Structure 1
Amino acid sequence: MHTKTSRIVLAGATSAAALFWAGSASAQAFYLQEQSVRGQGRAFSGEAADTGVDSLWWNPASIAGMQGGEASVRASAILPRGKVVDNNTLIVRPGQPAASVGGEAVAKNPIDNGYLPSGAIAYGFGRVAVGLSLTAPYSFTTDYDENSWARYSADKTKLRTYDIQPSIAVEVAKGLYIGGAANIEYVDATLGNYLPNLSPLLADGHQTLKGNGWDVGWSAGMQFHDGPVSLGLAYKSAIKHKLDGSVTFEGLQGPLAVQNGSIDATAKFSTPWQIIGSARAKVSKSLTLNAQVVRMGWSEFDSIDLGAPLNTSIPENYRNSWTWAMGVDYDINPQWTWRAGVQRGMTPTRNGQRDARVPDSNRWNFSTGTSYALGSNFTIDAAASYITFKDATIDRTTAAYAGTAVQTPILVDGSLQDASALVFSLGARVGF
């Protein structure tokens, strides 16, 4: 029976990854794009075509042609708000009529505030440059109360992802740059959800997944610079993750009590690939226009495959999706630059298959920011964003003990309401 009951926790367990208590509030699903304060100020509208270490995550070609070194450090505070509301979620225990799942009907702000640091460094030898970035591109933390209506889908989710990207870039001809990188990622996960006992008079049981692992992907890109126009195109591969760990069951009573204890388990899943296209045009001495489109291959996250002794596959059925962004950079004077931009992001989650662990929806991102050069080699960056999410259904049916005589369906009928996020970021860039 361990194989069947593990499906609930593992279906949510690998649906996200996080670093340094970050929250899901940015581009799509559990992808965070706050890897550049400069980029955030224009709503990430020109990153694949811009140059320097702040664009290294989006395009490893961004450091080609550098003379000397550049380093960047940043930190973002991500402050999501919203409600996950029960409309009429039902539980169907064996031999009993459907009944309300009970618990608190409104979960306020279940996605935790996040504090996300990142950084990058590069050194150029003329035509060739090498660089290294540390980022947290996929990130997610939720915290539902033990008496929440969503407790059978999720209670606490904490996953941490560290992405280390060593890069090399070459100027192959005047204005033509190419670059490549490895993406080395470490994932550490701890999360859980409650399990219903067979009698509604008994307290719930609980299950927890813990796992971790190292995996590798790659990035490649090119840029073309011709006078006032810069173009960039980059690709980031999907990364197939494998977590080795355990699943622990506790608090189960009656005939379910034999399941209490821990078993070793593995889970495999893939994060999406990305194709990023960007253009920048300096239309006057002070004004630069930016545009960027990103196609994300979320269909890679189509299932979670569980190894021995579970040996099963859980469908996720995410779909490929888009983001579009436009923005401006305006040089007020040689030391001071102002930025602004807007981004539209489409969710890869589908109606009928969205759960409380990843309560995602389509969003608009409105951003502004500024940079001030304190000297020829030191610049301070600041940015702020307001992100608004469309109300969406939470309606993925689950079942405890699926495929057994005690199968207990949870007919989920909820919604995400009034969701938004504020993001404040501060960073510094130094040349050497």
Structure 2
Amino acid sequence: MKTHYTLKTLSALILGLGTVGLAHGAGFQLLEQNASGLGSAYAGSAASGENASAAYFNPASMTLLPGMNVSAGAVAIKPSFKFSDGGSTNAVGARPGGGDGGDAGSLGVVPNAHFTWEVNPRLWLGLSVGAPFGLMTDYDEGWAGRYHSEKFSIESININPSIAFKATDTLSIGAGVSYMHLDADYRKAQFVPSIPTGAMGNPIPLPGGDLSAKVKAKGDGWGWNVGVLWQATPDTRFGLSYRSKVKIDADGTTTLRNRSVPTSIALAPGMSIPNPIAGLLPLGEYDAETTVELPDTAIFSVVHQLNDRWTLLGDVSWTGWSSIPELKIENSGVSNSTLDLRFKDAWRVALGAHYKYSESWTFKGGVAWDQSPVRDDAFRPSSLPDNDRYWLSLGAQYNFSKNTSIDVGYAHLFVKSTSVNNNSSKDAGVLKGDYDSSADLFGVQFSHRF
């Protein structure tokens, strides 16, 4: 029976769609590993060495920090994803009904903590803890795109010890190793078609409806990072850093529940029979696993001390999202599946400036262009409807003393007008329409030198 075959592959498709969020590029790969860089749009991140968070962006930058340094903070991120339906359909080509889903953006907080230690004039050790991936989209239940996504969330933690060596008075090198853990939770509806009278020999119409589907998966992986810092002149330095791919082996469960498929059919008052479609539903919990290779990244930065008041910062970074052209899902008890993603490598360019108003106050500003790895409307998932975005950032630093400071930063992300015409999954139908998206970020960072 065609209906039974369609439902049989559901758990594979759910896990595949849920894992999209793990590797959905600019909007999902979090730059916010400190709040001190937020005010200048993270320009100069691999050459700044402003506080102990340098250990994450470029381990060689630790050599700019004498003694012991600690830095900790958090960035609150509030994205907005508002969908306008433009002709979405379900798996049989009919209009699915439901609204536009409300604002799917959800508030998230990205914490960070860093430590560096100057062991001797040539050797530094560091440790960074942060969340390099994480966000959530949450639509109203029953919206028009419910067969693609209703809720998606992911949390991560990255632990990154590092070491740096000052090779000469102007050249430093550094390296580190990372352990990453990921947790994902994805929920959607699954369309179950009705069978009209006479189809496949049935004498009465058999009603369909929706299933509720949920996948939870978690996995771990290891990576490494290296960096170089060159003080070209007393006023100008360059930083170059590279962070490797991280292979995540994720294990999870897919759970299917009946939402609105009638379990019986009323023939007359007080008389009913079981609905054969309900009896074919593969309800329950299934084991599932997949492997995803998160992309590598490279950053080239420059910091120039223009005069006693002004510091200029620049950044060009690259992310190798083409490491994920597709996802292959293996399941226990149901069919395997392959999800076509076609991610592209992405670039980011940032420019910033610091103005030292006084010994206590420094003001910051920055702009950036951030490219999405999703370039085709047909492969843009509703779990994160990403697109190119532009940053406008402002921030301030207050020095309580020469060893203690606090940073605050704010950024607004203007997201390019986003269309979607996703028909990559026959079971989900076509999601067609437009997104109006943006994001606001606010961060606080505390730093101290012992």
Q: Report the TM-score, using the length of structure 1 for normalisation.
A: 0.91
1:63 equivalent in structure 2: 62
Matched, 1:430 2:425: no
Q: Give the superposition deviation at 1:146.
A: 1.5
Q: Is the CA contact 1:180–1:219 (under 8 Å) kept in the aligned structure 2?
A: yes
Structure 1 vs Structure 2 CA RMSD:
1.9
1:234 equivalent in structure 2: 241
Cα deviation, 1:210-257, whole Å, max 9, x if unaligned, reads 111221111111100131001000101111111111111121754463
1:404 equivalent in structure 2: none
Cα deviation, 1:45-77, whole Å, max 9, x if unaligned, reads 111011141222211111125432101111112
Write the distance in 2 (CA, Å) between the matches of 1:312 and 1:399: 11
Write the distance in 1 (CA, Å) between the matches of 2:97 and 2:337: 30
Identify which range, 334-343 or 194-203, moves more after superposition: 194-203
Q: 1:3 to 1:168 in 2, by over 3 A?
A: farther
2:16 equivalent in structure 1: 11
Matched, 1:122 2:116: yes
SS state of the match for residue 149, structure 1? Answer: coil
2:410 equivalent in structure 1: 384
Unaligned runs of 5+ in 2: 196-206, 262-275
Show the 5 A alignment for 1:125-164: 125=119, 126-164=121-159
Write the distance in 2 (CA, Å) between the matches of 1:382 and 1:30: 22
Show the 5 A alignment for 1:51-200: 51=49, 52-64=51-63, 66-93=65-92, 98-104=93-99, 106-125=100-119, 126-199=121-194
1:356 equivalent in structure 2: 382
> Which amino acid is 1:371 matched to?
Q
For residue 29 of structure 1, the aligned residue among 27, 32, 57 is: 27
Write the distance in 1 (CA, Å) between the matches of 2:122 and 2:149: 51
Write the distance in 2 (CA, Å) between the matches of 1:230 and 1:337: 20
Identify which range, 3-12 or 274-283, moves more after superposition: 3-12
Q: Is the CA contact 2:230–2:238 (under 8 Å) kept in the aligned structure 1?
A: yes
Q: Is the CA contact 2:108–2:135 (under 8 Å) kept in the aligned structure 1?
A: no
> Which amino acid is 2:76 matched to?
A
Show the 5 A alignment for 1:185-264: 185-199=180-194, 202-225=208-231, 226-251=233-258, 253=261, 254-255=276-277, 257-264=280-287
Q: Is the CA contact 1:36–1:55 (under 8 Å) kept in the aligned structure 2?
A: no
Write the distance in 2 (CA, Å) between the matches of 1:427 and 1:32: 16
SS state of the match for residue 383, structure 1? Answer: strand
Q: Which has more radius of gyration? A: 2
Q: 1:311 to 1:204 in 2, by over 3 A?
A: closer
Q: Is the CA contact 2:363–2:397 (under 8 Å) kept in the aligned structure 1?
A: yes
Q: Is the CA contact 2:74–2:109 (under 8 Å) kept in the aligned structure 1?
A: yes
Cα deviation, 1:168-213, whole Å, max 9, x if unaligned, reads 1111111211111111101112212110111295431021111112
Show the 5 A alignment for 1:310-389: 310-351=335-376, 352-389=378-415
For residue 48 of structure 1, the aligned residue among 40, 46, 49 is: 46
Q: 1:87 to 1:165 in 2, by over 3 A?
A: same
Q: Is the CA contact 2:134–2:153 (under 8 Å) kept in the aligned structure 1?
A: no
Identify which range, 77-86 or 253-262, moves more after superposition: 253-262
Q: Is the CA contact 2:286–2:331 (under 8 Å) kept in the aligned structure 1?
A: no
Q: Give the superposition deviation at 1:414.
A: 1.6
Percentage of pairs with the same residue: 26
Write the distance in 1 (CA, Å) between the matches of 2:408 and 2:96: 45
Cα deviation, 1:248-285, whole Å, max 9, x if unaligned, reads 11217544634111111101112211110000111111
Q: Is the CA contact 2:226–2:243 (under 8 Å) kept in the aligned structure 1?
A: yes
Cα deviation, 1:380-427, whole Å, max 9, x if unaligned, reads 100111111111112211445xxxxxxx4602212112x211111111
Q: Report the TM-score, using the length of structure 2 for normalisation.
A: 0.87
Unaligned runs of 5+ in 1: 19-23, 401-407
SS state of the match for residue 14, structure 1? Answer: helix
Q: Give the superposition deviation at 1:42.
A: 0.7
2:37 equivalent in structure 1: 39
SS state of the match for residue 103, structure 1? Answer: coil
SS state of the match for residue 379, structure 1? Answer: strand
